[in-house]
Structure 1
Amino acid sequence: MHLYAIGDIHGQLGLLQAAHELIAADMARHGPGRVVHVGDLVDRGPDSRGVIDFLIRGLSRGEDWVVLKGNHDRMFSRFIANPHEPEPGLRAELSWLHPRLGGADTLRSYGVANAGDRPVAKVHAEAIGAVPAEHLAFLAARPTLHLAGDCAFVHAGIRPGVPLSQQVERDLVWIRDPFLQATESFGPLVVHGHTVVDAATHYGNRLNIDSGAAYGGPLSAVVIEGREAALLTPTGRLKLIPAH
C-alpha cells in the first residue's frame, strides 16, 4: 500500500496542480494511491479561492483525496462566522487580517479588496456576500485527523501522551512544542505540516512536509510506503532518510 501527501498549499494553485502532476506520474508507474492534503489551503498566496475550487472539483468527481483542516482554514471559517471572536491558538495581538496571517490575500481572491486596511465590519459584510456557501460548507466539513496504513495525517501535530481518539482540534491544527521536541514513537508515523522546514524531513517518528510554499518555497508531494517516504521530483522519487 502506498499513500501520497501534499504539504501546506497557502493559495498556491499552480504549485498544487504541479504537485498533483507529480503524483499522477508516480501513480502511472506504481499504481493508484490515496492523496492526503495536510491543510492550510488558504492565506498568503494569490489564489485561495482557486485552490478550494480545485479540491472541491476533484472530490466531486470521485478522486481518492482527503483534505484536512489547517489553522489558516479554521481562521477563515471563524472570521466569516464571527470576526470578533478570538482564535484560541493565535496570540491576542494578532488577527486573521493581520499582514502576517494572510487573511486579506484570501479575501482578495474572492474580490474583497484591501481587507487589512478597512473597518472589520465592512470587510466582513463584503466577505459574507463574496464567499460561496459551498466553500464555507467545504471548510466546515474538513476533518482534522486521518488514519491510513502506518500513518496518522494531521495539520500541525499531536499532543504527546494523549491517545489519538482524545486529541483536540486546537492541538491538531496549532501545536508546535511539545510535539516538535518529542523523540519517542507516537505509534503511527505522524505526517504533518504547519512548521516550515527547508525541505520535507523525516524524523523517524514524524514526517514534516511543509516546505514553505507560503513564502516562495516549494510545495512538497511525498509518497509513503509503510513508514518509509520519498519526495516526488520531476526525475522520480528521492528517498527521505530519517534524521534520527
Structure 2
Amino acid sequence: MTETLYAIGDIHGQLAMLEDALDRIERDGGPNARIVFLGDYVDRGPDSRGVIERLRQGLAEGRNWICLKGNHDRLFEWFVAPPVPRQDSHLLIGYHWFHERIGGLETAQSYGVDVPERIRQKELAAEFRAALPDGHLAFLQGLQLSHREMGKFFVHAGVRPGVPLADQDEEDLLWIRQEFLEDTRDHGALIVHGHTPVKAPELKPNRLNLDTGAGYGRPMSIAVFEADEIFALERSGRVRL
C-alpha cells in the first residue's frame, strides 16, 4: 500500500480554516490520515485557544498527528511559562508579543484576557497563566522542532544551509528566513516549511513553503506526499505541484 503523508501550513488562530483542512484530509485519506502541522497555531487570527484545544483533542483521540513548534508558539509559551515572561531577541527593538504586527493581543482575547494599554508584563503573565485551560502550556512546551519522514524534513521556518539536519539550531528552525530561502543547495532532504507567507504553495528543488497567509485571512494550504509525488489538496481535490 502506498504511504501517504499530509502537511498543513501556518494556522494562526484560524479554527474554521483548520476544521475545513481536516475535513478535506479526511475525505482524501480517511480518519487515520497522518498529518504534520508546521507550527504557528496562535496569534493574529480570532481563535488561538480553539486551535490549540482542537489539536489537543485530536492527539488525545489518538489521531496520527505530529505537531511542530513555530516561533509564535514559542512567543506564547515564553510569555506565560513561570516564573516571569521572557522576551525573544528575534523581535525588533520596540516590538513585543502584543505588538499589532505580532498578534499576541488576539491570542489573549481568545482566552478572555484583557491587555491594558500600559502593559505590566509580570502581572499580565500571571493573569494569562490562570486563564489557560489545563494542558495548554504543556502542549506548547511539548511541541517538536522538526520531523523527518519520506525523504522530507518538516520544520517551521527552515534550516541553516551547510549545517547537517541533525545539528540544526532551534533559533534557525523557528526564525530563519532569507539565508534559507535564497539558498539553492540540496539540504539532504526536501525541506517542508512555513513561516514566510507566499500567495500559493511554493515548490522549489530543495524546499516547499506552505505558509499562504492564513494569519492574514488568506487560504490555509495542505500538501499531500505520496511516493515521489507532491500535491496541493484543494476543496476540489488534489492538484499536482
Q: Please give the TM-score of this superposition, normalised by the length of structure 2.
A: 0.94
Q: Which residue number corresponds to residue 3 of structure 1?
A: 5
Specify the code of the residue in structure 1 equivalent to 2:10.
D
List alignment gaps of at least 5 residues for structure 1. none
Report the identity percentage. 48
Supply the AA of the counterpart residue of 2:58. Answer: G
Residue 84 to residue 102, structure 1, CA distance change in 2 (3 Å): same
Alignment correspondent of 1:125: 126
Is 2:201–2:210's contact at 8 Å kept on the other side of the alignment?
yes
User: What one-letter code is carried by the residue in structure 1 that aligns with 2:40?
Assistant: D
Give the unaligned 5+ runs of structure 2.
Answer: none
Hey, what does 1:232 align to over in structure 2? 233
Could you say what secondary structure the match of 2:135 adopts?
helix
Q: CA separation of 1:115/1:102 partners in 2, compared to 1, >3 Å: closer, same or farther? A: farther
Aligned to 2:71: 71
Runs of 4+ in 1 over 6 A off after TM superposition: none
For residues 124 and 60 of structure 1, the distance between their equivalents in structure 2, rounded to whole angstroms, comes to 27
Q: In the TM superposition, what whole-angstrom CA distance separates every residue of 1:141-170 from its partner, at most 9, and x where no partner exists?
A: 000010111100000000001011111111
Matches within 5 A, 1:70-219: 70-81=70-81, 84-115=85-116, 118-219=119-220
- For 1:92 and 1:210, the matched residues in 2 are separated by 25
Report the aligned-residue RMSD. 1.6
Partners of 2:231 and 2:197 in 1: CA distance: 18
1:214/1:59 Cα in 2 relative to 1: closer, same or farther (>3 Å)? Answer: same
Three-state SS of the structure 2 residue aligned to 1:191 is strand
State the one-letter code of the partner of 1:10: H
Q: How many residues are paired up?
A: 238
Report the AA paired with residue 221 of structure 2: S
Q: TM-score, normalised by structure 1?
A: 0.93
Following the alignment from structure 1 to structure 2, what is the Cα–Cα distance between the partners of residues 2 and 116? 48
Deviation at 1:117, TM superposition (A): 5.1
Cα distance in 1 for residues equivalent to 2:25 and 2:216: 23
CA distance in 1, matches of 2:117, 2:14: 20
Over residues 56-83 of structure 1, what are the superposed CA-to-partner deviations in whole Å (9 max), with x where a residue is unaligned?
0101111000010000000000011365
The Cα of 1:9 is off from its aligned counterpart by 0.3
Which residue of structure 1 aligns with residue 15 of structure 2? 13
